[in-house]
Structure 1
Amino acid sequence: MKVTAERDRCIGAGLCTLHAPAVFDQEDDGMVVVLDESPTGAAADDARKVAEHLCPGKAVLVTED
């Protein structure tokens, strides 16, 4: 799996960091930063949940290898 984020779509809601803190963080301006592009286990599940259901800007993308 690979996690990426489109900063131009990010609205700074912070749901990614709240629900998957091992994978995401936020810059000082509130925009998403990917900490782990290839998470495993529970962190991977959390990243999928953020991408599929939680990110209001649809800025988080998860692709499967």
Structure 2
Amino acid sequence: MCHFWFIDFLDNDYQYLIRIDEDCFIHKFDNDIFELMEKKNQVFIFPYFRKFDIPDVTLGMTKLLK
């Protein structure tokens, strides 16, 4: 997953990209979500925001990316 987000998708020309992690639960999905985003001129949406991931999932990332 890290390889995809830091390398793979940057080299491709996607019209749309949706990220669904294993800790996400989708109870209802709007099939027209990208159309709605385009109408509202939105480029990014998310269900909630947290400042940082828990330390266990980012162990070593700071050193790797410097």
TM-score (ref. length: structure 2): 0.26
The structure that has the greater radius of gyration is 2
Specify which structure has the bigger relative contact order, considering alpha-carbon pairs within 8 angstroms and separated by 6 or more residues.
1
More strand by share: 1
TM-score (ref. length: structure 1): 0.26
More helix by share: 2
